[in-house]
Amino acid sequence: MIRVRGLVKEFPGGVRAVDGVDFEVPKGSLVTLLGPSGCGKTTSLRCIAGLEDPTGGTIEIGDRVVFDAAKKVLLPPNKRRIGMVFQSYAIWPHMTVFDNVAYPLRNTKTNKAEIKDRVMASLELVGLAALAPRRAPNLSGGQQQRVALARALVAEPEVLLLDEPLSNLDAKLRESMRQEIREIQQRLGITTLYVTHDQVEALAISDIVAVMSGGNIVDFGSPQRIYEAPRTRFVAEFIGLANVVPVSKVAAAPSDDMLRGVAPMGPMTFANNDTGQAVADEASVLVRLEDIELSRERPADQDNVWRGTVVSALFLGTHFDCVIEVGGQRMRAHAQRAAKLKAGDEVWVRVPAGCALRLRDDGAPVAAGSSAAADADDSATATTPLLGLAP
Amino acid sequence: MTIVENAPPAQTEEATPSAGRPSRVPRFVRRIVKADPKYWIFAVVTAVLVYEILVPLVMMVWSSLNEKRPGNPEFFDSESLTFGNYSRAVTGTAGEAALNTAIFAIGVTVVSFLLGGFLAWVVERTNTPLRKLLTALCLLRLFIPGVMTTFAWILLGSPEIGLVNKFFDSVIPGVDGPIFNVYTMWGMIWVESLDVIPLAFLLMSAALRSTDPSLEEASLMAGKGRLITTFRITFPLILPAMLAAVILILIRGFETFEVPALIGMQAGIFTFVIEIYLNTNGVPSDTGLAGVYAVAVLAVCACLIWFYNRMTRNADSFATIGGKAFRPKRANLGRGRWVTLAISLVIMLASVGLPLLVMIWSSLSPAYKPMQPFTAEGFSNLSLDNYRLVLDNPTTVRAFMNSAVLAAAAAVLIVFLISIVAWITVKTKIRGRKLLDHLAFAPIAIPAVTMGVAFLWFYLSVPIPVYGTLWILLLLYIARFTPVVMRLLSASMTQIDDELMEASVITGASWWRSFRTVALPLLRPGMVAGGIFVVIHAFRELSASLFVQTGGNEVVGVTMWSLWADGSYALLTAFGIMVLIVITVLSLAANLIGSRFGIRE
């Protein structure tokens, strides 16, 4: 388990890379810190590793306090019992694969036979046992990645930290490696913190995703919840492809958690995702590209149906990526391959009311309550994430 | 922030300043003892550098302000301080010496930069044939001791006996009398420039090599011609590197000893460096005046280094210095490439070929006739007698042994010390690491002669019994060759990805184990390069050793100087050739070992 409270890292010059971050990685689960570059995710990870000295807050790993600003506790990184995979893999070029993996064990007084057994077991785990005597520079990127993972795991650390481990691999390899990492993580049941800027990777691999922006965590929840019901406009636009439609004259629709308003396309019904926030006159509404239905004939349904013109349609293999102008509002949508759309075609656009969600416009940090509530219904993890531990 | 070694919750209390249990040991002592060992190392290394570099310098400045000599019991009395030495220097020969020094240094810079820069361009950017040979010749020139090349050019260019003069006199009709006189300011500049060309060549070819060719290609694509591209893109890109090279060459011009000593003194052209030498080793000596000149050279060089640092710092903002080895486009010169080859060969002939030829010829000639003409009779006189004499002479043999021991010891100690310094300054965040960086690089601004004088006076005045032993030479060499090794090692340290070290610490390794098992092996290529540099230069060091060497502790450089001063020219040339062979073999061997055990990437 990793527990981080009020973590602050201020660099010389007053830049706050991490600005009061709270989160917990429950024992045995994989949490991803996801965000654009400069959001503070790597700095947070490095603070947990002990490679950066934080300015404030506390960090606990397992049952040990490794950092506490108030009590002046700062455990050096070599005492934290951490396994870490670096972005550059950091495979030592002057050692063989075996020596690289054996390195963490040689810190402890482990006898030679046991070192050999454990190194080979670890290499077996990543499928590289045959390459043990190879010199490290003679490995491909994917193989170096596996060596790095084997080295991080060989000493059976309390937690595993991964800093953008797949960003230097090509797309195909990235997909298979992320599956492999997830499998190994689940087999060993090791508590893992994973940093990435790739939202697809984060969704695929995590138990819980923490979206970071400007040194804060702005959303925290299961991948599905984060994708389907992002808390803020930033999260919605960062994860997946999104249309954000401005709606005015918002009023409560017949049912409680539905709202109605006037969009540029015409009247629109949408779900009130953020029940914690009072209903204002104006709202931003999220419509995912794949939720938009396009048809040449007018649909039977009356709600959220508008007529539009195709501005452009790019063929992407599995589908068309279209831009459609509806009443002055441009919307991106996916059309089936069979639709054979081209620029200038007139189409009917329909958005199922349940698939349009009201968003918060601000990027305020996650506070206790609201997001835990949002998570309660669909969070797959056993432990409810600990959030907002502010006094 | 206190560093706590083990911190389960119970133990964190101990680290809290207010909650410490009563103890007789003061808190700051406990803190020091418990501190991370890297702070200890930092303190020790800083102390060593301060002692090695700062203390002798302070001594020298003190001496320039003192009417008493170092070693005099009243030397440390503040009452004997005075500006008298400075006013004596100004009313005396300082003005003339300053003018000579400036003309000499600037002249050398212009000539050697043009010729060395031309060679660099030919080798790096054109399709001139024999480029590898040109590079090899330049490197070979670095191995030849300065006394030898200077002496060789005396043999070539003196008005009466100079072989070049004789050649033109006899071969070309209409030329009567000497066409070239080495005993002039122009002669000095010419001979010294030939010595500096390899340095200029290496600096400039590094700059040309590290320019991203796509920057130039982009200009060509934008419709600009080669010439415009060269002036608008290439020159501005390498300008910082060019200026840095100019500054380093200027410093070399200010502090060089051999040419002003062998030629300048004869010609009556005195530079600062010669004034220092004469006022220290001459009779009667005048330590006050020598101190003034030493401080003056130091001040000039320090200013230049300040500019150099600014220049190289700004160089980062240019895209030229990339870690990647680019393969710049070579200009196709067509038939012109034979012209560039001819010019390059003439330069190398003057710089390497002729001096080496003369030295070999002279070393094989009879001792009574070292400058015999190239005739059939001359050839019949050749023998290895001089080499036998060198090997039979106890002084020259001792010099070989002493210099070998000193060079090896200095190389090992400097590389060891500086790899720690480089690690601290590049890879840690210890407060004060910048200071250490400056301290280790500072000696680059201290001219060799100044440093020699400073060491002499310091160890004459303090009760540390190293004067008259090899130890003082070792201490001197460590101070003298530290900065270049510092540059080399901090550059290779910078290239080692931070994550490689972090990956080690994360596994639970102590910093010492991380340093030993990860940083040091990765640093090895840089360490070998630094070691070779120290060995080559320490083995034949002259201008600083000259002041602290004593009988029985002869070193190679000073022995060559003495042979010249005694007029034992045949012995000098034979000895010089042997030194050259030793240095070449040493560095080739070191290179081989380095590539065998270095990292293959």
Domain boundaries, chain B: 46-67+378-601, 98-268+314-319+333-357
| Pair B281, B345: CB distance under 8 Å | no
Number of other CB atoms surrounding residue B454 within 10 Å? 29
Which is more confidently placed, A205 or B89?
A205
Which is more confidently placed, B552 or B183?
B183
CB contact, 8 Å: A51 with chain B?
A: yes
State ipTM: 0.76
For residue A309, the SS3 value is strand
Q: How far apart are CA B451 and CA B229, in angstroms?
A: 45
CB contact, 8 Å: A54 with chain B?
A: no
pLDDT at A374: 39
pLDDT at B514: 86
B134-145: average pLDDT: 87
Q: CB distance B513–A107 less than 8 Å?
A: yes
For residue A312, the SS3 value is strand
Q: CB distance A66–B12 less than 8 Å?
A: no
User: Distances from the Cα of B535 to the Cαs of B42, B91, B295, in angstroms?
Assistant: 26, 42, 28
In this predicted structure, the answer to whether residue B323 has a pLDDT above a threshold of 60 is no
CB contact, 8 Å: A65 with chain B?
A: yes
CB contact, 8 Å: A76 with chain B?
A: yes
Residues contacting residue B269 through CB under 8 Å, at least 6 positions apart: B100, B104, B184, B185, B188, B260, B263
| Pair B225, B416: CB distance under 8 Å | no
A350-375: average pLDDT: 62
In this predicted structure, the answer to whether residue B472 has a pLDDT above a threshold of 80 is yes
Residues of chain A with Cβ-Cβ distance to B3 below 8 Å are: 74, 76
Q: A360 forms bridges with which residues in the sheet?
A: A232
For residue A262, the SS3 value is strand
Number of other CB atoms surrounding residue A369 within 10 Å? 11
Kindly identify which residue of chain A lies nearest to residue B502, measuring between CA atoms. A51
pLDDT at B26: 67
Dihedral sign (CA B492, B497, B502, B503): negative
Residues contacting residue A44 through CB under 8 Å, at least 6 positions apart: A4, A7, A9, A18, A21, A33, A195, A212
In this predicted structure, the answer to whether residue B2 has a pLDDT above a threshold of 60 is no
pLDDT at A60: 94
Residue with tokens 């009574």: B368
In this predicted structure, the answer to whether residue B326 has a pLDDT above a threshold of 60 is no
Q: CB distance A137–B8 less than 8 Å?
A: no
Confidence of residue A373 (pLDDT cuts 50, 70, 90): very low
Query: Best of A59, A78, A161 to disrupt the B interface by mutation (most B CBs within 10 Å)?
Result: A78
pLDDT at B85: 78
Residues written for chain A: 391
| Pair B122, B134: CB distance under 8 Å | yes
Average model confidence (pLDDT) across chain B: 81
Q: Strands A346-350 and A356-359: what pairing?
A: unpaired
Q: CB distance B16–A72 less than 8 Å?
A: yes
pLDDT at A255: 67
pLDDT digits (tens, 9 = 90+) for B510-541: 878 888 888 888 888 788 888 888 988 899 89
In this predicted structure, the answer to whether residue A108 has a pLDDT above a threshold of 90 is no
Q: For A107, which of B500, B508, B522 is closest by C-beta distance?
A: B508
pLDDT at B434: 84
Average model confidence (pLDDT) across chain A: 85
Q: How far apart are CA B388 and CA B393, in angstroms?
A: 9
Which is more confidently placed, B567 or B321?
B567
CA distance B7 to chain A (A): 7
Q: CB distance B3–A74 less than 8 Å?
A: yes
Residues contacting residue A53 through CB under 8 Å, at least 6 positions apart: A47, A74, B1
pLDDT at B34: 63
CA distance A40 to chain B (A): 18
Q: Which CATH architecture has domain B98-268+314-319+333-357?
A: Orthogonal Bundle (1.10)
Q: CB distance A79–B508 less than 8 Å?
A: yes
| Alpha helix ranges (H) inside B144-184 | 146-157, 163-171
Confidence of residue A386 (pLDDT cuts 50, 70, 90): very low
In this predicted structure, the answer to whether residue B232 has a pLDDT above a threshold of 90 is no
| Pair A210, A31: CB distance under 8 Å | yes
**By C-alpha distance, which of A97, A93, A163 is closest to B500?**
A93
Number of other CB atoms surrounding residue B303 within 10 Å? 12
B427-445: average pLDDT: 83
In this predicted structure, the answer to whether residue B343 has a pLDDT above a threshold of 70 is yes
CB contact, 8 Å: A138 with chain B?
A: no
Answer yes or no: CATH 3.40.1360.10 is held by domain B46-67+378-601.
no
pLDDT at B413: 94
Q: For B499, which of A77, A86, A94 is closest by C-beta distance?
A: A86
Which is more confidently placed, A200 or B442?
A200
Q: How far apart are CA A258 and CA B400, in angstroms?
A: 95
| Pair B147, B556: CB distance under 8 Å | no
Lowest model confidence (mean pLDDT) among A240-249, B218-227, B257-266, B407-416: B218-227
CA distance A70 to chain B (A): 9
Q: For B497, which of A90, A148, A151 is closest by C-beta distance?
A: A90
In chain B, the percentage of residues whose pLDDT exceeds 70 is 88
Q: How far apart are CA B312 and CA B240, in angstroms?
A: 7
CA distance A104 to chain B (A): 5
Kindly identify which residue of chain B lies nearest to residue A64, measuring between CA atoms. B8
Interface of B with A (CB under 8 A): 1-9, 12, 15-17, 36, 497, 499-500, 502-511, 513, 517-518, 521-522, 599-601
pLDDT digits (tens, 9 = 90+) for B9-32: 433 333 444 444 445 666 666 666
Q: In what order do the strands lie in the sheet with A64-68?
A: A15-25, A2-11, A56-61, A64-68, A73-74
pLDDT digits (tens, 9 = 90+) for A288-309: 988 899 888 888 877 889 999 9
In this predicted structure, the answer to whether residue A384 has a pLDDT above a threshold of 50 is no
Q: How far apart are CA B437 and CA B440, in angstroms?
A: 5
CA distance B167 to chain A (A): 58
Number of other CB atoms surrounding residue B269 within 10 Å? 21
Confidence of residue A43 (pLDDT cuts 50, 70, 90): very high
| Pair A358, A341: CB distance under 8 Å | no
pLDDT at B5: 45
In this predicted structure, the answer to whether residue B420 has a pLDDT above a threshold of 70 is yes
Q: For A78, which of B509, B518, B601 is closest by C-beta distance?
A: B509
What is the secondary structure of A159-224 as a DSSP string?
EEEEESTTTTS-HHHHHHHHHHHHHHHHHHT-EEEEEES-HHHHHHH-SEEEEEETTEEEEEE-HH
Which is more confidently placed, B594 or B289?
B289
| Pair B370, B435: CB distance under 8 Å | no
Question: B501 is written with which tokens?
Answer: 């070290």
CB contact, 8 Å: A88 with chain B?
A: yes
Q: How far apart are CA B488 and CA B476, in angstroms?
A: 20
pLDDT digits (tens, 9 = 90+) for B367-376: 777 777 777 7
CA distance B327 to chain A (A): 23
Confidence of residue B600 (pLDDT cuts 50, 70, 90): very low
Q: Ranked by mean pLDDT, which of B4-8, B315-319, B409-413, B484-488 comes out on top?
A: B409-413
Confidence of residue A391 (pLDDT cuts 50, 70, 90): very low
Residue B594's H or E segment, with its range, is helix B569-597
Q: CB distance A88–B499 less than 8 Å?
A: yes
CA distance B510 to chain A (A): 6
pLDDT digits (tens, 9 = 90+) for B260-279: 999 998 888 998 888 888 88
CA within 13 Å, CB half, A121: 12
pLDDT digits (tens, 9 = 90+) for B35-60: 667 788 888 888 888 888 888 788 88
B46-67+378-601 and B98-268+314-319+333-357, same CATH topology: yes
Tell me the pTM: 0.76
Q: How far apart are CA B595 and CA B501, in angstroms?
A: 23
Residue with tokens 């190879």: A134
In this predicted structure, the answer to whether residue B344 has a pLDDT above a threshold of 90 is yes
Q: CB distance B9–A65 less than 8 Å?
A: yes
**By C-alpha distance, which of A184, A116, A175, A120 is closest to A142?**
A175
In this predicted structure, the answer to whether residue A45 has a pLDDT above a threshold of 70 is yes
